[in-house]
Amino acid sequence: MSALTDLFREARSSAANLAEVFARGRGLRLGVTGLSRAGKTVFITALAQQLTTLAHAAAEGRKNPLPVFRLAAEGRLIAGRLEPQPDDHVARFAFEDHVAALTGPDRLWPQSTRQISELRLLLDFQRRDGFRPGPGRFVIDIVDYPGEWLLDLPLLEKSYSVWSRETFEASAAAARAPLAADWRGFSAGLDPKAPADEAIARKAAELFTAYLRAARSDAFALSTLPPGRFLMPGDLEGSPALTFAPLPPGDGDEPAPGSLAAMMERRYEAYKAHVVKPFFRDHFARLDRQIVLVDALAALNSGPAALRDLQHALNDVLAAFRIGRGNALTKLFRPKIDKILIAATKADHLHHLSHDRLEAILRQLTARAISRSEFSGAAVDVIALAAVRATREAAVRRGRETIDAIIGTPLKGETLDGQIFDGETEAAIFPGQLPADPREAFRGDALAQAEDESDYRFLRFRPPIPVFGTDGKPLPAPHIRLDRACQFLFGDRLS
Ligand code: GDP
């Protein structure tokens, strides 16, 4: 497709998006993102379960589970239900499967997000007296997508040679070099001017992907580098669209037709045109509100180096939402989002006394990324939440001391002080206190701190034992601050 037709299509598509916004009126598209394992699947499952069962809570004699969500507090929700989604070409979020996993006899966490999916929620509610009292209807289209994909936005304005150079430079850093050694060694032996060879391209892509994966593994927890699909391929798993890799910086000449460098460059450009642009144009640019989920506790567990690295990763992820950055092309793909919630997930791994401290650490993590001038026009809030609360709290006496503990069933294989948990037994855990001054969490040497040296240690727990309603259907699990998230993300549109 020529560049002109391409641009024309983009312009027409944004006009259609605008028309869609006006036509929709009473609804919004809510993006849910975050890096892999941040908690997107659990969040969407819990949110949809809460909103589709909320209207019956009072009739069933249950306490209002979402007191801070004004629609719930004021008892104005008439019904909440799932509806077929508007985009037939996008996978539906597997809500029923995820609820079944969480509440089935094995109580398993659901399968995490691997690709984009959608879920449409329809709320019938009573408007508040005033401008337009009476019944109203509101549609929330939830769009679940891997945060890794957002890292690809800057590629749109980067040539293959610039991206190659930057990627090679990054891989030489002390923390990355050992992980990148195989790929760098292989690449060093390649002649970019040699004739294109599919086997070599495949091998280079394989080694490059292995390096990106190793950097993101639990052991290293380094931030993710683009291309986002190399780690989260979605439906491109094993596709030739991902068979390219950076080549060592050459002499700056245009690659000769038919050379390895020319093939790599062509594939890189194809990735941008056929993978990156369609995602940003068809999905990202249409979002109205966004929640970005962050697993800060995993990074805290790994030590200050991992936390600082998460800070970089979040910077890169949040850059996609910044207004006024980049050229005309990337601006075209930026959504007109007016509210962004950044949420630290799994707060149930902590005693509530530390929830505010977790928020403070998240604020510190994202401070640079959300400096006000760059997000002008969008309201940003930061919270700590647990969409599903797998623990409860207890004060445990130890001699003369009373310690604030959390009680839950640690996942099979989790260890603490030499004890290995079997996944069946409940335990009272003292996760420790997060530091009062969030900056303290970022200080320390570059190595992951040893378990016994740190002031805190977070275990992963099994989902809570489910409770069933009078109709035999599972009720949503308890949560932490999910109602605050609802109020911020769409409460204002339901008055
Ligand atoms: P995704 O990759 O962003 O979709 O991440 P998931 O939603 O699949 O969450 C990854 C893992 O984090 C889950 O398997 C759970 O172990 C854990 N998790 C996510 N949300 C919660 C939560 O609210 N509470 C607890 N205790 N664990 C959670």
For residue 39, report the distance from its CA to the centre of ligand 1, in Å.
4
Residue 24 confidence (pLDDT): 44
Mean pLDDT within 404-433: 92
Per-residue tokens: 330: 């990337």
pLDDT at 297 over 80: yes
Q: Which residue type occupies 197?
A: D
Higher-confidence residue of 318 and 480: namely 480
Q: Does the beta carbon of 36 sit less than 6 angstroms from any atom of ligand 1? A: yes
Ligand 1 touching residue 390 (CB < 6 A): yes
pLDDT at 347: 97
Per cent of the chain over pLDDT 90 is: 63
Q: What is the pLDDT of residue 225?
A: 82
Ligand 1 atom showing the smallest separation from residue 388 Cα: 23
Q: Is 345 in the pocket of ligand 1 (CB under 6 A)?
A: yes
Q: Which DSSP helix (H) or strand (E) runs through 72?
A: helix 70-73
Nearest atom, ligand 1, residue 45 CA:
7
Task: Provide the 3-class DSSP secondary structure of residue 484.
Answer: helix
Give the distance (Å) from ligand 1 centre to CA of residue 388: 9
Quote the pLDDT of residue 119.
Answer: 98
113 lines ligand 1 (CB under 6 A): yes
CB-ligand 1 contact for 37 (6 Å cutoff): yes
Exposed e or buried b per residue across 458-481, where buried means at least 16 C-beta atoms within 10 angstroms of its C-beta: bbbbbbbeeeeeeeeebbbbbbbb
- For residue 187, pLDDT over 60 is answered with yes
pLDDT in tens, 447-457: 444 444 567 78
List the structure tokens of 145.
């997508």
Mutate to test the pocket of ligand 1, among 42, 95, 392 (most ligand atoms within 8 A of CB): 42
Q: What is the mean pLDDT of residues 99-117?
A: 96
* Under 8 Å between Cβ of 481 and 488: no
Q: Is the pLDDT of residue 22 over 50?
A: no
pLDDT recorded at residue 8: 47
Q: What angle, 0 to 180 degrees and rounded to 10, lies between the N-to-C axes of helices 177-188 and 198-216?
A: 170
- What's the pLDDT score for residue 2? 47
Q: What residue's CA is closest to ligand 1, atom 21? A: 346
Give ∠ CA 433-437-442 in degrees, rounded to 5: 90
pLDDT confidence band for 327 (50 / 70 / 90): low
| 119-133, 238-252, 473-487: which is most confident | 473-487
Range in 7-21, 157-171, 224-238 with the lowest mean pLDDT = 7-21
Least confident residue range of 158-162, 254-258, 300-304, 466-470: 300-304
Q: What is the pLDDT of residue 399?
A: 87
**Ligand 1 atom 25: the closest Cα is on which residue?**
346
346 C-beta closer than 6 A to ligand 1: yes
Residue 313 has pLDDT above 60, yes or no: yes
Question: Does residue 460 have its Cβ closer than 6 Å to ligand 1?
Answer: yes
Q: Is 134 left (phi over 0), alpha (psi -120 to 50) or beta?
A: left
Ligand 1 neighbourhood includes 462 CB (under 6 angstroms): no
pLDDT category of residue 290 using cuts at 50, 70 and 90: very high
| Residue ranges of domains in the chain, CATH in brackets | 2-145+283-389+473-493 (3.40.50.300), 158-279 (no CATH), 392-453 (no CATH)
Q: Range with the lowest mean pLDDT among 413-427, 429-443, 446-460?
A: 446-460
Name the more confident of 362 and 374. Answer: 362
Atom of ligand 1 nearest to the CA of 387: 23
As beta bridge partners, residue 28 has 140
pLDDT of residue 131: 66
Ligand 1 close to Cβ of residue 387 (< 6 A) = yes
Q: What does the pLDDT look like over 206-232, one tens digit per residue?
A: 999 999 999 877 666 677 788 999 989
Is residue 34 within 6 Å of ligand 1 at its C-beta? Answer: yes
